[in-house]
Chain A
Amino acid sequence: MRLAERQGERIDRSAPVTFTFQGKEIQAYVGDTIGSALYAAGQRVFSRSFKYHRPRGLQCCVGHCANCQMTVDGTPNVRVCTTPVTQGAVVKGQNYRGSLEHDLMQVTDKLGGPFTPPGFYYKTFIRPRKAWPLYEKFLRGAAGLGELDPDGARDYRVDVENRHVDVLVIGGGASGLAAALEHATAGRHVVVVDEGPEAGGGLLGDPAGATQAGELREAARAAGVEILAPAVAIGLFEYNFVPVQVGNLLVKFRAGTVVIAAGIVEQPLVFPGNDLIGVVLPEAARRLVNYWSIKPAERAVVITADDNGLAAAEALSSAGVDVPLVLDLRDGQPPNIEASGRKGLVTGVSVNGSSTACDLLVMSGSPQPNVKLLAQAGARVEYDPARGIFVPTDLPDGIQAVGAAAGEVGEPAVPDAILGHHGDKCFVCFCEDQTTKDLKYAIEEGFDSIELAKRYTTVTMGPCQGRLCSTNSIRVYAKAKGVDENTIGTTTARPPYTPVAMGLVAGYPQEPAKRTSLHHRHKDLGGRMMWTGAWRRPHSYTADAGDEAQNVHHNVGLIDVSTLGKILVKGPEAGAFLDRVYPNRFSDLKVGRVRYGVLTGDAGRIMDDGTVARLDDETFYVTTSSTGADGVYQWFTWWNAVWFMDVEFVQLTGALAAINVAGPKARELMERVSDDDFSNEGVAYLDAKHVTVAGVSTLALRIGFVGELGYELHLPSPLAEHVWDALLDKGADLGVAPFGLEPQRILRLEKGHVIVSQDTDSESNLHEAAMPWIVKNDKEFEWVGKWATQQVADRGLRWMLVGFVSPSGVIPVEGGQVVVDGRSAGRVTSVRHSKELDQVIGLAIVPHELAVEGGTFDVRVDGVNHRMDVHLGPFFDPAGERLRA
């Protein structure tokens, strides 16, 4: 029931808002939360508890507990007590079968209790084994809170923002604002974050305090303090890193100093019936009355260990609620408290056997300083037995605590850990439905430390993150074990401080794809793009990749190889450096010539390959595989940090585009776009020559990339489209056409070229990859991997990479098993059908003894062994005549 307009109320009665709850229209006002509006409309059952499906209602009204979680506009587990109303919102209850008021699953509370003690899932639903799928289906259906649409996509935008500040104050109550003002006055850049709709904290609970809070905010802002509210600090990490949720914005604060002014977390008392609807914490009663002008009950009882309960009693009285009993535990502790109820709603309370009827019971256990973030930061937290609370005692550098969070909470009473004799169904953990009986059971089972109890019973692991149960569970454990609370200790505080949507943490979806400067030309030409490492590259341009390969054999093809790594190695010792880092020799490479190279790691394993061109006496131009660009650059840099040679490296991968022009008509095409001499005399096989192509300074490498006459053109990336267009334009009558990665695979396989990481793995070495000719052991320096490579040669070869032909035409899968004598003995690494050869050809790793011309082995395809014939050397143009044409 709404009260008449009150001073300081937070609702705007001139601004009505309508939303639906369970399909029913609810009237509210701007300033209401969904929870307050529902309460004003008479709704008392807000949710069902996780395990026993007990009815639960508003308990804290500050977002600390999880008793009011609902599904709002499709988002589950929204705490409606702090969620502002929005016009047209669709609000639904969750975690019930039937209706919120009559949940069929409550049978677990009535009947299942004895069968569902802590850890029951380890002990039951085990036999018969065959029934497990049924059990699993049932358990999965019963578990969890709320429902997610597995096919749903986020339909709202999130952003992530980084902020660096001198001081971040977490908590905008009186202490927080005062601390912010002090820091700002000293000239520091200060931001205050507060989880409430506006800063003010506990001051906002009554009209006079709200006025004071307003004045504090104004003073702080005038001093330059930035106040963010509602804004929730999710955690406190190393180096004062604090992610803060501000709506759909995740602000990552990095602060010189973090001031924790998070106030208190009101604690429940532990007694039978303490989870009945209508048993609330003091701030809930104050906010219902003072924020939203609601008369929350007709008759209320207050049992309190501190002044907060008295303030609640005062607020209730001001709203016309009859408060027949205010029990201040500081005046003496009653041995027995028990709440009674009907249909889950409180109807009375018995204190030492004396009953008082009521429809609201305010309980205030103790004002626990909100030390969660401090504990996350590494602060030491100790129990103060005189006040029954945990307080921070030792703070890390750069962390401050002020106000109630620092322990300034007065002198509350220390209520008994368990108040009540009847039974043990006093709830300690409301989220996980853990009672005093459950905790005692866990101790009896041997889980006698609080960390073990947490894992076994799940106490403190629910969505309230232990706010309402951490202190009480430790105190119950201490009482049950007969030791003090400091001996029991606390559980480890971990982020997040409060549940946070995964979508917010994930941030904005970003996919940093690398694209060559010809990317859009490929798309324009119909290229089907695929991922190769971080790059987007064309798989092929036509439906039949074999035809693209054939065009290279018979006309001329263009392939974009800009993704190749390109590293400049420059300096007086550049040649000597390459001799040390490669197995083969480069110091004797003549200026203007190119040589193939394979890199090995310390253990002699093949790590990358590419070409090395000598541009002048001190300058080498190294290409690597597309995925090896960064790794090889780092490898060079790392080794030179060891050797201190007079050589520098420049990463040029992105700077230069590379286009391979290949095919019997390649020379004719080059002559149409350049005045340079592309004859065998002008640019011989394995030459590296500076030329001008379509007006662009270009380094042309004549290499056998795909087995045909070819020129690999390296030129500035921004000019790549121009050169590509020129080649396509001038070569139209020559049949020039682009070819993608798939036809490239066919062409390279025809030549028996090894593709590092495709035909090699982390165990491959030069000898067993059939490249012993790379190894130059007569160099005067040790080279990286020499010893290990020599060890392979000395011990004898076990495996060999060989070519094979499939005589039956069956195409095995890459990775398919090589089978010898019925046992797995190797694998297929590459296989394709070659139109040019009209054969299925491939490479495979086989036992060394099978690597002989005329040898055979089986490959299993769809469960059937098929014979493959070993082929040593290139399948196509074995003499390399076409390369040298």
Chain B
Amino acid sequence: MSALDFLSPSGAADAKGFHPVARSSMDRRQRDAGATFEERDGWLVPVSIPGEADRVAIAGVADLSHLCVTEVRPSEPVLEGEGVVWYRLSDRRSLVISDRAGAAALREDAGERTVLDLSGALSIIAVCGDEADTVVRRLTHLHHFPSSGEVAHITAHVLKPGAAYWIVFAQELGHYLWEVVVDRAAALGGGPIGVDALPEGARA
């Protein structure tokens, strides 16, 4: 057992009659929007939200916080893997976003490197659709992706691993940032969507 196991939401397991399930910092916002949830990899995931079909092509906003976010120190070498998004913060640090299996594989392959599970620290909002560029432009001055800097007055990383933007940020600001991103999207005809509504190319 590592001294840092208590950092990882993945370490939770049924015990003493308890069934731990992780929740995103935006869980309540999605619940308010009428989301349907499913338990996946130990997380309660908002898979669909009423009205998403009308929004997804314009500016869909989805919560991908259930993905594993791992920090690897030092950055090199990059470890490839299907569905693994590798964001190099500096020579010394990289963020790696993957599903649970990908994170486990990363941990196996990391060797002597420091690997920290920051899934509990960072939330992810995905923005997809024709107006995704406009939504992002109304949130940040960042324009080369991946990039880090101010997004709606907070510090965040903005990645574009596929057809969608992923905004990776401190989870304690999730309630706030979800509200802001959805507001910007709604002004353009978009809004919240479930993760299953994300187009294939927008998931990673």
Contacts from A to B (Cβ < 8 Å): 157, 159-164, 252, 254, 508, 510-517, 519-520, 535, 562, 568, 570, 615-616, 619, 648, 650-656, 673-675, 690, 692, 694-699, 714-719, 721-723, 726
Partner of B173, one of A163, A514, A520, A648: A514
Contacts from B to A (Cβ < 8 Å): 1, 3-9, 11-16, 18-25, 28, 43, 65, 71, 73, 114, 116, 118-122, 134, 137-138, 140-141, 143, 152-154, 170-177, 180, 183-184, 187
Chain B residue with the shortest CB-CB distance to A254: B141
Partner of A690, one of B3, B65, B183: B3
Partner of B20, one of A652, A653, A655, A696: A696
Check B7 against A511 for contact (C-beta < 8 Å). Answer: no
Show 13 A/B contacts (Cβ-Cβ < 8 Å), sorted by A: A157-B187, A508-B183, A510-B153, A511-B176, A512-B176, A515-B176, A517-B171, A535-B172, A675-B16, A696-B11, A696-B20, A716-B9, A717-B120
Check B172 against A514 for contact (C-beta < 8 Å). Answer: yes
Q: Which 10 A-B pairs have the closest CB atoms?
A: A655-B121, A718-B22, A716-B120, A615-B3, A695-B15, A697-B11, A694-B18, A162-B141, A716-B9, A695-B20
Check A619 against B4 for contact (C-beta < 8 Å). Answer: yes
- The distance in angstroms between the C-alpha atoms of A535 and B173, with both chains bound, is 10
- The distance in angstroms between the C-alpha atoms of A714 and B8, with both chains bound, is 11
Partner of B3, one of A619, A694, A717: A619
- The distance in angstroms between the C-alpha atoms of A510 and B177, with both chains bound, is 9
Given known contacts A615-B4, A619-B3, A513 and B175 CB-to-CB distance under 8 angstroms = yes
Given known contacts A673-B18, A695-B14, A699-B6, A717 and B176 CB-to-CB distance under 8 angstroms = no
Interface-central residue, A650, A694, A717, A723, by most chain B CB under 10 Å: A717
- The distance in angstroms between the C-alpha atoms of A431 and B60, with both chains bound, is 49
Check A697 against B118 for contact (C-beta < 8 Å). Answer: no
- The distance in angstroms between the C-alpha atoms of A164 and B3, with both chains bound, is 46
Partner of A655, one of B16, B118, B134: B118
Check B175 against A568 for contact (C-beta < 8 Å). Answer: no
- Residues of chain B lying within 8 A (CB to CB) of residue A699: 6
How many A-B Cβ pairs are below 8 Å? 157
- The distance in angstroms between the C-alpha atoms of A482 and B156, with both chains bound, is 60
- Residues of chain B lying within 8 A (CB to CB) of residue A726: 18
Chain A residue with the shortest CB-CB distance to B139: A162
Interface-central residue, B6, B13, B141, B187, by most chain A CB under 10 Å: B6
Given known contacts A159-B138, A695-B18, A716-B12, A517 and B23 CB-to-CB distance under 8 angstroms = yes
Chain B residue with the shortest CB-CB distance to A159: B138
Given known contacts A515-B25, A716-B22, A164 and B143 CB-to-CB distance under 8 angstroms = yes
- The distance in angstroms between the C-alpha atoms of A699 and B19, with both chains bound, is 19
- The distance in angstroms between the C-alpha atoms of A723 and B170, with both chains bound, is 21
- The distance in angstroms between the C-alpha atoms of A718 and B120, with both chains bound, is 6
Check A717 against B4 for contact (C-beta < 8 Å). Answer: no
Check B114 against A714 for contact (C-beta < 8 Å). Answer: no
Check B176 against A697 for contact (C-beta < 8 Å). Answer: no
- Residues of chain A lying within 8 A (CB to CB) of residue B141: 162, 164, 252, 254
- The distance in angstroms between the C-alpha atoms of A831 and B155, with both chains bound, is 38
Partner of A718, one of B6, B18, B119, B137: B119
- The distance in angstroms between the C-alpha atoms of A450 and B177, with both chains bound, is 49
- Residues of chain B lying within 8 A (CB to CB) of residue A651: 121
Check B9 against A512 for contact (C-beta < 8 Å). Answer: no
Check A717 against B121 for contact (C-beta < 8 Å). Answer: yes
- Residues of chain A lying within 8 A (CB to CB) of residue B3: 615-616, 619, 690
- Residues of chain B lying within 8 A (CB to CB) of residue A656: 6-7, 120
Check A719 against B9 for contact (C-beta < 8 Å). Answer: yes
Check B134 against A161 for contact (C-beta < 8 Å). Answer: yes
- Residues of chain A lying within 8 A (CB to CB) of residue B25: 515, 517, 717-718
- Residues of chain A lying within 8 A (CB to CB) of residue B119: 716, 718
- Residues of chain B lying within 8 A (CB to CB) of residue A654: 120-122, 170-172
Check A673 against B23 for contact (C-beta < 8 Å). Answer: no
B38 to chain A, nearest CB (A): 16
Chain B residue with the shortest CB-CB distance to A717: B120
- The distance in angstroms between the C-alpha atoms of A697 and B15, with both chains bound, is 11
Partner of B152, one of A512, A562, A690: A512
Check B23 against A648 for contact (C-beta < 8 Å). Answer: no
